[in-house]
Each structure stands twice: as structure tokens, then as C-alpha cells.
A and B are shown apart, each in its own frame.
Chain A
Amino acid sequence: MWSSYHDIVLRFYKRMLDKKINHPLHEKKNKVVCFSDTTMEKVQKIIARYPEGRQKSALLPLLHIAQEEFEGYLSVDVMDYIAELLSIQPIEVYEVATFYSQYYLDPVGKNVIEICRTGPCAICGGEKMQEYVEQRLNIKTGETTPDGLFTLKAVECLGACGSAPVMQINTEFHEFLTKEKIDQILDELTLKAKEEKPEKSLWKEKFF
């Protein structure tokens, strides 16, 4: 009997070892990341808004800017860079980045569609709109289209219940959604993606 128990334990550990631990937080690629000079100027101004020695307060705004500047998501390299910039421990950045839903830890498409799934939107047809976007992009919620143009996410209340159903794309609001409206928005974004410099409202500009 003892040996069989022993076997089970052994098998369990073997399985644990075989399974590659695969989490974005564990993959450091040692890529050099650095804000551009113009962004850095703004970053310094943001840090200056908080009292001396309280530079950690700038973490949330900085993560928004970093996410925007570096490929749309927060990789370990980016988070470590922010930690260094604010003279805090990397873990202090990781724990914040994993807590707030607007920080993405996985690569996302060029346009992130966040569709509201909460009560007031749901009773005004939000669920059907979500289904329609899925169908139209041929992906499930949480996935990215193969061409890397769109990522679809379902989020909690966006605070625009009076114009339900709503979605936010790259933090621009789109309200009173209908199938026709969704078609139009997605078509426009697909067209825009072909342009060299797509118009986007940027965090680093909004902060000033």
C-alpha cells in the first residue's frame, strides 16, 4: 500500500516537472526598453505631481503610457523598466499590473475592443452585440484575430449605461450600438490600419 502511495506522489511531481511553467510574468527576454525623450519629459512631469519620495504614486499613469508605447501590453521587460524608473522593486509593479483590468499582460491586437457585459448594457441588448462582434470577427471573446488587428474583451461597466449598449475601442467610446454601427466602426478601423499613422488618442497626451 505504501508503495502505491509513493507512486502517486512521484507521478504527481513528475507531471509538475514536465509541465513547463508558462506565464508571461516569467518570461524575461532582456529586451532593452526605454521611453523616447519626449515621453520621458512628460513622465518626469507626472512624477513631479507627487510629493518627494512618493514617486511610486506615478505607477498607474506610467503603466498606461508604457503599455501604449511598448506594443500595447506589459511584458516583464517593460515592467522591470518601470520599476527601475521609479526606484521600486519589480514585484511592486507586477502586483499592480496583475490587479487592474486595463493592463494587459498578453500581447493584444492593434485595436482592443472592450465591450460592456454588465447589467444595464445586458438588458439593452449588450449580449447580442457581443455575439455579433464575435461572429463578425470570427473569434471568441478574449481572442485576437489572426491578422492581429482586433482583440475582443468583455469588460465590466464602462459607466455609459445611459447610452447602452456600449463598447470602447482603444479607450474611445462607441454608444447605442447596433449591428450596422458595429459594421461601420470595424470597417473604418480595418481601413485605418492600412494607413501609416492611425489616429489614436494617446495617454501621454491626455495627461497634459
Chain B
Amino acid sequence: MERKILLKNIAVPGIRTFEVFRSTGGYRSVEKALKTMSPDEVVEEVKKSGLRGRGGAGFPAGMKWSFIDKKSNKPRYLICNADESEPGTFKDRYLMEKIPHLLIEGMICSCYALGAKTGYIYVRGEYKYIIGILNEAIREAYANGFLGNNILGSSYSLDIHVHSGAGAYICGEETAMIESLEGKRGNPRIKPPFPAVVGLYGGPTVVNNVETLANIGFIVNHGGTEYARYGSGKSTGTKLISACGNINNPGVYEIELGLSVRQFLYDEQYCGGIKNSKELKAVIAGGSSVPILPKELILQNATGEERLFTYESLADGGFVSGTMLGSGGFIVYDEDACIVRNTWNLARFYHHESCGQCSPCREGTGWMENVLHRIENGQGRTKDIDLLVSIAAKIEGNTICPLGDAAAWPVASAIRHFRHEFEEHVLHPERCGH
């Protein structure tokens, strides 16, 4: 049976407006939290829910909240990370476009739990029309007394503002986002101190993904234990998966964690199989940064067990034969896709998006792009393949932020699983039709 938390009311006409959203039970969690719960109790429920960060890293949200420095006398902030720029990911855009009040509701409860008086939604600059939708939702929330001074007659006051980025993937990294929000270049900060101690304007700050925050309303309403009944094992709740590539039904789907990858890929109510009745070749399961897996390893793991949509199952086998759930950007490649060309394309992306702060990433991403371009254009040498592996290994783990790792993994995994294709490109470049 299909159970939904986030997109349950997505089909209700006019759900984007406050009135309709409220009539479906929206903002009840704000009333409950402000009137009957203490901030610590909200944090406790989120901890119990087992909710993990939906932006990609999968860090437990409740634990992240509990790191907030309570001794600091500076104002606390909550930043909603809506800088969704990971290739293959478009779930937050969908959520904000269709049901923006779900995010605002979640943010109010979260800000209350954290003791933040100001919240910012950092939206990527490309989503200009979303900024309009969010501002309208915020305006409605103010007008109905859910934002502003003394919310619902309590002593709690909160302001939420929308802030726009301007086209930089790196600003999805939390400390780069803070820098950007302060009006600077998006260069990630060295950690520690973590944002929970020294964040925006030096105050304790929590940065959470849109989808993570959208779940908070349900957790407050029904309790963390109820939320944990959804999902499977340590991967609790539901997850928005944005499916794209060579499939019949691209789009955003809310699945309960624990669904099998095979079912998601071939079932009519999800991806509906490969387009034009072609064969599956490979899948990037969680946004372009996670390792690509060939057909044999995405449907089942190395020991033959069915691969499921959980943080654990997708990571099974480590990076030798596994991948990550990541941000839920599910990119499917059919038999005609050229892995070398695709890897070069992604390497170019990371080279373009590297902020230039750490030399391994700044230089390494450029070299990976150049070498892959050479192979793709038929001028590759056999030793280039090992050269790529070596560059990737030298970037990984040697940079301030995870962009270096994110750039290295796609290249390293493509060579790990499709080495023969790279060799073929070097030896017989004319055979590839791309």
C-alpha cells in the first residue's frame, strides 16, 4: 500500500493557497507546537522520528538541531536550503511550486524548536518564479497570524524571508550558503566551527533542506514514533524521488523508503520502464554526485539481494558495488547512452561549479574534464584512464567541502564499472555513435 506524507494533498485544487491548505489540516502543527509543546519537546519528537537530512548527506535532522550552541548570546537562525542544483534533482522545486505552505508550516515549527526569530529561504536564482510563489505564501501566513509578532497570541515571534542565489551550485553547501547569504562569494568555510555554533552573522545556525523541513509538520502533528512507522529500519519516512533520463514517466514521486528499485523503475505508477522499450544500462541513483551503477548492481546488490530505496541498501557494498540515496535524483541511462560522454559532461559541470578555493578541486576538476574530453574526442591514450583514477583519488578527501568528493566519485565509479567502454573509446573511437 502506498502511504504519503508530503504529497498526500497535492491533487487538491488550489492547495497552493492558504485557505485550501488550511482546510486540509494545514498549520495545525504550528498551533500544537506553540500551545502545547516546549521547543525541546519538538526537538525530541524530531529525534524520535529518525528523520534524516533530505538534501543528500542523510544526516539525522534531530541530532543536527541538538548541536545548536545554547550558550551563545547571538541570535539564532534557520536557513532553508532551496538551492537545489544537483543535476537530476528537482523535487524541492516541485514541492515549493505546488504546496509552498507545507514548507512554511515546517519552518515555523522548526524555528520555534530552535529558538530562531528569523528564518531565511535561500532559493537558487534560476527558480525566479518560485520566489514569487513563496513570497505570496509568506504574505498569506503573515496575514493569518502565523508569522510576525506574537504568533497565535503566544510570546513567540518569527519572520521568514526569501533570499535568492544567482547561479552557483556550490551555494548548496551549508557554509557556502551562509557566506552567500552574507553577500559574499560562495566559498565554503573551514569546519569546525560548525554552523550550529558559528553560522550566519556569527550566530548559531541550522541549515536544512526543503524536503526535510516539509516533514516537520507531520512529525509535530502525529509524533516522531508515528513518523518512524513509515519507511524501513533506520531509513524512516518517505522520500521524494525525482526521476529523469531515458524513462517513460519522468517526474517527482513520493515513495515510502524501502520500496524496491526494480519496482520503482518498471512499475507503471512510477517510472514506467525504459523509454522506447530499450534496455537499461546504468542508473545514477541519488543525483549526479553519487557513483553510477550498472544494470546488474542497481537492481540487486553484489550478493544478489534486492536493492531497496533506503540509505543502507543503496550504500550496500560501499563504493565498490554500491552508491548512495543522496538527494533522490534518479537518472536512468538506456543502452544507447555513452558513459564516456556522460562522464565528461558531468566532469565539465563540476569544473564549472568548483569555487576555486582548494587547489585539488580547482585544478583537478579541470584536468579531469580535459582528459575526458580528449578520450571522448578520440585522442585518448590508454594511460589516460589510470590518470583519471589517480586525479580523482587525489581530489577526494583533500578539499574543504564535499564538492571535491562529488566531482571525483562520478568519474571514479564510471571507470570502475565501465572501464571497457573507456578502453573502447581509446582504441576504437570511431565505433561510438555519439
Q: Could you tell me which A residues sit within 8 Å of B by CB distance? A: 49, 51, 54, 56-61, 63-64, 86, 88, 92, 95-96, 99-103, 117-120, 122-124, 155-164, 168, 171-173, 201, 203, 205-208
Residue in A closest to B334 when the chains form the complex, CB atoms: A123
Partner of A57, one of B169, B182, B331, B333: B182
Cβ contact within 8 Å between A164 and B244 = yes
Residues in A neighbouring B163, C-beta threshold 8 A: 49, 57, 60-61
- Using A100-B166, A162-B243 as known contacts, say yes or no to A57 and B183 having CB atoms under 8 A apart: yes
What's the Cα separation between A88 and B245 when bound, in Å?
45
Most B Cβ at <10 Å: residue of A64, A100, A120, A158? A120
Cβ contact within 8 Å between A205 and B88 = no
| Chain B 324-367: CB-based contact to A (< 8 A → 1; otherwise 0) | 00000101010001000110011001001101000000000000
Q: Could you tell me which B residues sit within 8 Å of A by CB distance? A: 75, 84-90, 93, 118, 124-129, 131-132, 135, 159, 161-169, 180-186, 201, 242-246, 250-252, 288, 329, 331, 333, 337, 341-342, 345-346, 349, 352-353, 355
Residue in B closest to A103 when the chains form the complex, CB atoms: B166
What's the Cα separation between A172 and B333 when bound, in Å?
28
| Chain B: minimal CB distance from A106 (Å) | 16
Cβ contact within 8 Å between B169 and A156 = yes
| Chain B: minimal CB distance from A182 (Å) | 19
Residues in A neighbouring B166, C-beta threshold 8 A: 60, 63-64, 100-103
| Chain B: minimal CB distance from A94 (Å) | 10
Partner of A124, one of B129, B135, B201, B245: B245
Residues in A neighbouring B129, C-beta threshold 8 A: 171-173, 201, 206
What's the Cα separation between A117 and B180 when bound, in Å?
25
| Chain B: minimal CB distance from A112 (Å) | 12
Cβ contact within 8 Å between A119 and B349 = yes
Cβ contact within 8 Å between B182 and A120 = no
| Chain B: minimal CB distance from A203 (Å) | 7
Cβ contact within 8 Å between A156 and B353 = yes
Partner of A120, one of B88, B168, B201: B88
Residue in A closest to B434 when the chains form the complex, CB atoms: A127
Cβ contact within 8 Å between B201 and A51 = yes
- Using A156-B353, A157-B349, A162-B251 as known contacts, say yes or no to A203 and B128 having CB atoms under 8 A apart: yes
